[in-house]
A and B are shown apart, each in its own frame.
Chain A
Amino acid sequence: MEQDQRMADGWKRWLLLAGAAVWLGLPWLVFGNNYVLSTLILIGLYALVGTGMTLLMGYAGQISLGQAAFYGIGAYASAYLTAHAGWPAWLALAAGAVLAALVALVVGIPVFRLREHYLALATLGFGVIMFTFFKEWKGITGGLNGFFGIPPIRIAGVPLQSDLPFYYLVSLFVLAGVWFARNIVRSRVGRALRAIHGSEVAANSLGVNITKYKLQIFMLSAVYASIAGSLYAHYVTFINPDLFGIVPSIYFLIMVVIGGAGSVWGGLIGAAVYVCLGEWLKAVVPLLLPDAGGEFEIVFFGLLLVIMLIYMPNGLTGVALKGWRRFWKTGWRRQVDSHKARSIGGERG
């Protein structure tokens, strides 16, 4: 039994190491192909947002239909502070994250008093309102025309203008993000969150301050999204409000559902599958349906969302975890279970 567990843990360590090696070596495998690199960067940025949302959905059991608003807050804060106010990019990134956390706090205090669909709706309303501000607050955001000329991010005075260093920068952020999320899940906060997910009333009666923990995770997920937004702004140097509306929020939601909110890796895996599938659809569908234009891929993502939620509510990581556990039918199962979050929103009583 114990030996099996040690073996499983050893395998897990090797798997992580191999994953890290692939991640770091990937640019060399694809010979620095810029299209592939920019796709990987996009995956990394979405993975950051997704990891934050995974914590929120899987561990705090709350859904957010307005997460793109925080992505937008980071992007516009970085854009404005670096391009117009002349701040260094890192300071602007931090300021964006603080701003996002503050907005999450102000929005979260009243909103987390609500439950279930009302909460979903409130986040949706928040998303639409923020989108309106991005669109209408032309003096700061440039309105619908967009915000041009965002300076690149600098490390030790050297601007990061090519894809390769940016890829490493983003992947560092993703690794740090996942690592941090993992620690959160295994900390006191994580235990409290799982308790909330199991039964709010029970957790409350045991002295867990539900609202406080939910708020903290909401703020944390906002910070993740905001940092990703800041990096995105510096990477593409041009942003417009359409990137931060309701539909992008739903795309983030789709990523988390694909990846599965029950594991801190869900965000990364979901983002990778989402981006690759999207790129593949953009390449294949026009061959079959030459007239297809616009965001036709939403059909497939919509179907995927419905099918996944009906047949695989814990996402790909949920399936993988189950398979992994069946493979190592051992005593450490219980230990893993205690780190596992439930499916989104818990079961209906």
Chain B
Amino acid sequence: MEAWSQFVQLLFSGLTVGSIYALVALGFVITYSVTGILNLAQGDFAMLGALLCMTFVNSGMPFVLAIGLSIAAVMAVGALFERLAIQPARRSSVAVLIIITIGASFVFRGIALLAWGTDPYALRPFTGHGALEVFGAVIQWQSVWAIVISLASFAALHLFFQRTYIGKAVAACVINPFAARLMGIDIRKMSLGAVAVSAGLGALAGIVIAPISGASYDMGMMIGLKAFIAAVVGGLTNAPAAIAGAFLVGLLESFAEGYLSSGYKEAISFGLLLLVLLFMPNGLFAKMTGKRV
């Protein structure tokens, strides 16, 4: 019974973390698909979202308004980042673009450090501190929220890409940028939109995880890197696979921490990254393709 409840506990914590990674990973996939850029500052959007939301809530704002406002603010930051750092360097090599996003990540971290200091902050859970008991395992309501919100976001995004005009335009850019341009779709606008939407997803992820693991200026890097592993494990341009990859990474980490040792958690997920990169560079779920150059 003891073993069973521990298993359920680890399963839920893996799903919780996995859903956070999935939100951020989805941002990676959208940005990468539309712009071809691997945005290593993606995790810092989560950090900014969490810290902003915490500040708004502590200033007495209603929770829902605070969430909406912080997501909007981070989306604006994302748009600004796209215009100031990505657009001017569009013609640069892939390596230069990656380093630029690392630079942007440092800027976000540094600004957060100057604004909020080094201490971690707590955000109160969305609905009280209560917990749910399932098979002897204690599940915080916030974990349930995390999983539900991320699943709802995936559904909303799916509808957005399938049903709305803008969504279809973005999807067209992903499939064939050149043809999309011939059809009169403004790729630069799409790129701006993609980065902004990714930033918003990141912010949401940060806000959802903050009541569980706190918010601090340096939380972005690890969330970003893990989400990044998830996206690579899933295959960088395949959204459902990236989500599956995120849950895989979350569960792997959670069980590794529970059954092995917490210290090596990082090494295990990054080891997975290396294995996937080396043996299946198109992701675990990729169909075999003929291209091999």
A and B pair up:
yes
List chain A positions with a Cβ less than 8 A from chain B: 57, 61, 63, 65, 110-111, 113-114, 116-118, 120-122, 124-126, 128-129, 131-133, 135-136, 246, 250, 253-254, 257, 289, 291-306, 309-310, 313, 343-348
By the criterion CB–CB under 8 Å, are B111 and A344 in contact? no
List of A residues within 8 angstroms of B38 by Cβ: 117, 120-121
A residues near B109, Cβ cutoff 8 Å: 298-299, 302
Whether B134 sits at the interface, judged by CB under 8 Å, is no
Q: Which residues of A contact B100 (CB under 8 A)?
A: 305-306, 309-310
Residue from B91, B221, B228 in contact with A121 in the complex, judged by beta carbons closer than 8 Å: B228
8 residue pairs A–B, Cβ–Cβ below 8 Å:
A118-B281, A122-B277, A132-B270, A250-B102, A291-B117, A302-B109, A306-B100, A347-B91
Chain A nearest CB from B99 CB (Å) reads 6
Chain B residues, Cβ within 8 Å of A111: 277-278
A residues near B228, Cβ cutoff 8 Å:
121
A305 touches B267 (CB 8 A): no
Is B85 in contact with A306, judged by CB distance below 8 angstroms?
Answer: yes
B98: A residues at CB distance < 8 A: 63, 117, 120
Give the residue of B96, B106, B261, B271 whose beta carbon is less than 8 angstroms from that of A344: B96
B68 close to A (CB within 8 Å): no
Does A114 contact B88, Cβ atoms closer than 8 Å?
Answer: no
Indicate whether B20 reaches chain A with its CB closer than 8 angstroms: no
Across the interface, which residues of A come within 8 angstroms of B103, CB to CB? 254, 301-306, 309
User: Are the CB atoms of B102 and A293 closer together than 8 Å?
Assistant: no
Residues in A whose Cβ lies below 8 Å from that of B263: 132, 135-136
> Does residue B138 face the partner (Cβ distance < 8 Å to A)?
no
Indicate which residue in A65, A289, A299, A344 contacts B93 across the interface (CB closer than 8 Å). A344
B286 to chain A, nearest CB (A): 13
Residues of A within 8 A of B267 (CB): 128-129, 132-133, 136
**How would residues 93 to 131 of chain B score, 1 for a CB under 8 Å from any chain A CB and 0 otherwise?**
111101110111111111101100110000000000000
B106→A116 contact, CB < 8 A: no
Q: Quick one: which of A291, A302, A313 contacts B106, CB cutoff 8 A? A: A302
Q: A125-B270, A293-B118 are in contact. Are A301 and B113 (CB under 8 A)?
A: no
* B186 sits at the interface (CB 8 A): no
Cα-based distance from A298 to B108 in the complex (angstroms): 9
Cβ–Cβ < 8 Å partners of B94 in chain A: 116-117, 345, 348
- Shortest beta-carbon distance from A66 to chain B in Å: 10
Main secondary structure of the interface of B (DSSP, over half): helix
Bitwise interface map of B from 134 to 176 toward A, beta carbon under 8 Å scored 1, else 0: 0000000000000000000000000000000000000000000
Whether B96 and A250, one on each chain, are in contact in the complex, defined by CB atoms closer than 8 angstroms, is no
B residues less than 8 Å from A310 (CB atoms): 85, 88-89, 92, 100
- Of A116, A250, A292, which one neighbours B114 at CB under 8 angstroms? A292
- Contact: A114 with B99, CB < 8 Å? no
The 6 closest A-B pairs by CB, nearest first: A299-B110, A302-B106, A345-B95, A305-B103, A345-B93, A302-B107
Q: How far is the CA of A280 from the CA of B217 in the complex (A)?
A: 23
Contact between chains at A299 and B107 (CB < 8 Å): yes
Q: Do A250 and B106 have beta carbons less than 8 Å apart?
A: yes
Closest CB in chain B relative to A215 CB, distance in Å: 15
CA distance A302 to B105 in the complex (A): 7
With the chains together, A345 CA to B113 CA distance in Å?
A: 32
B232 close to A (CB within 8 Å):
yes
**Residue B69 at the A interface, CB < 8 A?**
no
> Is A114 a contact partner of B118 (Cβ separation < 8 A)?
no
Q: How far is the CA of A313 from the CA of B102 in the complex (A)?
A: 15
- Asked if B273 and A309 sit within 8 Å, CB to CB, the answer is no
- Report B-chain residues with C-beta under 8 Å of the C-beta of A117: 38, 94, 98
* CB <8 Å contact, B92 and A348: yes
Q: Are B93 and A343 in contact (CB under 8 A)?
A: yes
Q: Is the CB of A114 within 8 A of B277?
A: yes
Contact A301 B106 (CB under 8 A): yes
State whether B113 touches A298 (Cβ < 8 A): yes
